[in-house]
A and B are shown apart, each in its own frame.
Chain A
Amino acid sequence: MSRVGWIRIAVVAIAIGLLEFCCRLGLIDHRVVIPPSEMADALVRLLISGQANDQIVRTFGIVVIAALISVAAGFALGVVIHALPRVRQALDPFFATYYAVPIFIFYPVMIVIFGLSVMPIVLMGVATAIVAMIIATLNGLDRIPQVLSKVGRVHRMGTVATALLLKLPAAAPHLFTGIKLAVSYAFIGVIASEFILAPAGLGRVISDAYTDFNNRQMYALMLLLIIVATVVNMLLHVVDQRWAERRGIGKP
């Protein structure tokens, strides 16, 4: 681990330590924030007791489903749009503006249409993630060097073989970036929806804990979400970087 890495760990550790310190000393009101050690303790007990397991499985399950749909559909749509340049040009302003619009304002509309079920949450997850995947797919396909098709023909490879053995590996790093973003965004979409309104799920349980003044429960689950989100994103990021490095794109 480099010197910078150690400093970073130290900074984070000091920040947590400071929080712990202030909470224990009563500088921060116990009814507002509980000490990090108590959060960890509450989480461990909660996991052991298995009380929240249903909700945990449900929420992460929905995230995975939303991510899978977004990646698959996003890739497919990306491939189709890439093959139709005029359509792509027409959609350009749409893609540029998509993430500028707060799509969560349409969540209540979806609830009214589909009822208070799993559907609107999955839809929100997909809606948040799919465009990132489409854009990444388009970029990846753009970056396939023209010369690869010619190489395929010199080696007398068919269309499918060229696509699988030459084009896909060439586009892969960008596609993986798309997957990384899709997972991230699906996570955000699902959690935010569960917070606003949901029949069940981690977001719902956390907001219930808030209204019931059950701080330990609330912080325990918040900590779980933060840890899972951070770990997953970090892992994806590391793999993405390694991949990009080998190809000479992106910094080492």
Chain B
Amino acid sequence: MTATVPDQDIHASLSGVTRIYPAAAGTRAVHALGEVDLDLKRGEFFAVVGPSGCGKSTLLEVLAGLQRPTAGTVTFEGRPVTGKVPDGIGVVFQEDASFPWLTVWDNAAFGLRRNGVADAEIRRRVDDALAFMGLTDFARAYPAQLSGGMRQRVCISRTLVLQPRLILLDEPFGALDAQTRLLMGDEVLRLWRRTGATILLITHALDEAAMLSDRIGAMSARPGRFLDIVVTGWPRERDSKIVSEAAFGEVTGRLWENLRGESMKSLGYSGMPAE
């Protein structure tokens, strides 16, 4: 199952990508991902859903250049991605990556400072990003004083100020409660429209993927491969109220059809139980 698209639109792509974690002391080799083909259209919102352990995070890290594929090629803006994270890609991780020894403001400014951007410009971008993420009042606070959701917004701010053209989000709302997640979903959509970036969101929440994305890739259990690509056809100006539309139910239904069996596999069921 491939997700290919006409050439001039392609922002990033994975072609024939496989990732096998080599055997280490005491563990066998793990075939985590592959084979995967994926073309990301410039400016689209693409979500990847699948059961735990199917290789979604691996896919994200390979795309970002944090890991090298065992086979296949990765390209970003026409150039191959090898070993280093290319300029223009921003990543928001699952775990809390905020630096506890810096204030919220300094956390956001961190990437800019290292890259020799002028002070006035840094101040402008950071203030802007914090305002956009609703963190202005907490600029002088330390991450330890904030909730999990706010810390994630700090990490997003840190990525935002670098004005990335491709933003990868690895289950950024995993640790949050359901209501907060829905609200954060709206925020990600705002982010997407504001920056015009291409977004790849990894999530295990079907409704989240269905609500936010232009296209959704349903991934099989390990080793992860795309079982289906669902096109939602939502308008660009959307928000969480979409969940009340009939089409939403169809999208989630179709995703679950693909994924139910895979999820049971990853939970350790060897066959489908009798009804």
Contact = CB atoms under 8 A, between A and B. Distances in A.
Contacts of A3: 25
Contacts of B25: 2-4
Nearest to B25: A3
Interface in B11-41: 25-26
4 contacts: A2-B25, A2-B26, A3-B25, A4-B25
Contacts of B26: 2
Contacts of A2: 25-26
Provide the main secondary structure of the chain A interface. Answer: helix
Interface of B: 25-26
B33 to A, nearest CB: 27
A197 B40 CA distance: 78
A199 B45 CA distance: 82
A59 B238 CA distance: 80
A3 B26 CA distance: 9
Nearest to A3: B25
Nearest to B26: A2
A2 B25 CA distance: 8
B14 to A, nearest CB: 35
Interface string A52-83: 00000000000000000000000000000000
A4 B24 CA distance: 12
Interface string A173-208: 000000000000000000000000000000000000
A2 B24 CA distance: 12
A128 B19 CA distance: 54
The 4 tightest CB contacts between A and B, nearest first, are A3-B25, A2-B25, A2-B26, A4-B25
A3 to B, nearest CB: 6
B17 to A, nearest CB: 32
B172 to A, nearest CB: 28
Contacts of A4: 25
A200 B178 CA distance: 70
B23 to A, nearest CB: 13
Nearest to A4: B25
B24 to A, nearest CB: 11
A224 to B, nearest CB: 36
A65 to B, nearest CB: 43
B91 to A, nearest CB: 28
B93 to A, nearest CB: 23
A1 to B, nearest CB: 12
A3 B25 CA distance: 8
Interface string A1-40: 0111000000000000000000000000000000000000
A10 to B, nearest CB: 16
A197 B80 CA distance: 73
Interface in A116-131: none
A4 B25 CA distance: 9
A2 B26 CA distance: 8
A3 B27 CA distance: 13
A28 to B, nearest CB: 37
